[in-house]
Amino acid sequence: MNIQTVETTPIAGQKPGTSGLRKKTAVFMEPHFLENYVQSIFDGIGGVAGKSLVVGGDGRYYNESAIQIILRMAAANGAAKIIVGQNGLLSTPAASHLIRLNGTDGGLILSASHNPGGPNADFGLKYNTPNGGPAPENITDKIYQATTTITAYKIAEAHDVDLTTPGQARIDTMLIEIVDPTADYIALMEELFDFPALKTLFASGFTMAFDAMHAITGPYAHAILEDRLGAPAGTVLNGTPSPDFGGGHPDPNPIWAKQLVDIMMGKNAPDFGAASDGDGDRNMIMGRGIYVTPSDSLALLAAHARCAPAYERGLLGVARSMPTSGAVDRVADKLGIPAFETPTGWKFFGNLLDAGRVTLCGEESAGTGSTHVREKDGLWAVLLWLNILATTRKSVADMMAQHWAEYGRNYYSRHDFEDVDADKAHALFSTLRDKLPSLAGQSFGPLTVSSASEFAYDDPVDGSHSAAQGLIINFDGGARAVFRLSGTGTVGATLRLYLEALQTDPAALHQDPQVALADLIAAAHTIAKIQGFTGRAAPDVIT
């Protein structure tokens, strides 16, 4: 094998964010950009000589070309074996499963998740560790360090590998195993859930709409929902992946999955609605006439997980990211199991899952998952909901009403101020941070601040400390506003304002969340001077 050693210099801006490196596609395609980052991953994890890796992506523009480069670089760096999805495709949870199933030394996942794809949109790359989960900060720090000192990368001179059919290929001595992206994942789902009960549910006339948003879950959803479980053809919408996600924004929330929302809120809506994102790890849940927030969905899944065979012995514990509502904590309390609060980012759940401290975890950003992989998993959440509905035979709206009556309702909303000038967003943030110690006791409208702090996390398993993970303002009565800057965007800054208020009065459980949270929204704007700093009086996206 001819190996080229290409001299290079560090490229600024290769610091991984909440979930790997995300940039404009055009930036990733600039000379040396991808190669520098891939070599830095290899160097940051101690080299890949003799190692095996899983490689796959969500099929967005540049996916396959990037994979061909990664294969040639892996060969040049001495990797022994690469398991790659057919046509370079793997959903993020399926990649996590393949890493665990095959005991590889980790994997490379090509995706910018829910961000749009295409030559003028976004691309991303992240390294997952041998447990199948996103690399924790101590490893991403090493990768970042490597990007700042890199002087050369290695790449084999070889033809593109044909990834169109499952089978084996080689670049010199490196074995490349091309696998069906869906087969092992489907087998795992079949182990976890009661497929015969789900078949019976669909056979009884239960109806569903699943919006794959022109993204990676299309083939998985067709195979599971329609082929295995007998849901009628047409249950899966937008089920053919396209490199630019049909020109859409593959983020499963009420704004971007409007087609599904219109169906579920319309006449003759199906019984159940769901959507997943670009790389298949996020989910949105709806019933006829109702949208279920990710925080409520997590709480409901925790309360009823025992309906599914995989969880029939109960849960060891649950975890949620800090900005996620406390609804799941109330369930944990009743079940007598621990509830953990972690910083935003799935990587923070890995230790808790590995140590057997939790079984279920989730985030307000539409991610839910369990011990079965080390990523959040969109279709898994859909199947767990289906398993619960197959057992209870109640509607989604009735399930939620019953849940709120039992536990109270954590009214919740996230307000996003997108593409804010980064300097202005940071100025808002640091001014607010300085103000935190003086806020307790001050009143804003009818609300009085009880405490304010910056969230930091001490991992209970490995003791690592993560500082500066969001600003929290608590109010008397249990409401809270949380401020964070997104770590997944590619331009400017996105300010996220998370709003939550617990309501236990049975007469007040069915309000519009924006109405229920109105005083809190006003207080948060006044305290942080959002309009003054950003020029925005209202958010761009409300979920």
Binding interface with ligand G16 (CB under 6 A): 18-19, 113-114, 281-282, 321, 344-346, 363, 365, 367, 486-488, 496
Backbone angles phi, psi at 52, to 5 degrees: -120, 145
Q: Which is nearer to ligand G16, 317 or 369 (CB)?
A: 369
| Six-digit token string for 281 | 């790890």
Q: Which is nearer to ligand G16, 51 or 282 (CB)?
A: 282
**Shortest spacing between CB 498 and ligand G16, in angstroms:** 10
**Shortest spacing between CB 457 and ligand G16, in angstroms:** 14
| Six-digit token string for 542 | 């409300």
Active-site option among 19, 40, 91, 113: 113
Q: Which is nearer to ligand G16, 182 or 324 (CB)?
A: 324
**Shortest spacing between CB 431 and ligand G16, in angstroms:** 21
**Shortest spacing between CB 126 and ligand G16, in angstroms:** 8
Q: Which is nearer to ligand G16, 154 or 376 (CB)?
A: 376
Could you tell me if 132 and 375 are in contact, meaning their C-beta atoms sit under 8 angstroms apart?
Answer: yes
Q: Which amino acid is at 358?
A: V
Those residues with Cβ within 8 angstroms of residue 106's Cβ, 6 or more apart along the chain or in another chain: 45, 53, 54, 99, 127, 128, 129, 130, 135
Active site residue 113: yes
What whole-number distance in Å separates Cα of residue 332 and Cα of residue 28?
43
Could you tell me if 291 and 397 are in contact, meaning their C-beta atoms sit under 8 angstroms apart?
Answer: no
Backbone angles phi, psi at 409, to 5 degrees: -115, 125
Find residue 260's DSSP bridge partners: none
Backbone angles phi, psi at 379, to 5 degrees: -70, -35
Q: What value, to the nearest 5°, has the Cα angle with vertex 513 and ends 315 and 520?
A: 100
Q: Which is nearer to ligand G16, 288 or 320 (CB)?
A: 320
**Shortest spacing between CB 144 and ligand G16, in angstroms:** 17
Could you tell me if 106 and 136 are in contact, meaning their C-beta atoms sit under 8 angstroms apart?
Answer: no
Residue whose token pair is 């509607």: 395
Could you tell me if 344 and 487 are in contact, meaning their C-beta atoms sit under 8 angstroms apart?
Answer: yes
**Shortest spacing between CB 490 and ligand G16, in angstroms:** 11
Give me the helices (H) in 271-366, please: 294-304, 327-335, 350-354
Q: Which is nearer to ligand G16, 161 or 361 (CB)?
A: 361
| Six-digit token string for 134 | 């996103």
Backbone angles phi, psi at 324, to 5 degrees: -70, 145
What whole-number distance in Å separates Cα of residue 446 and Cα of residue 460?
37
Q: Which residues does the annotation mark as catalytic?
A: 113
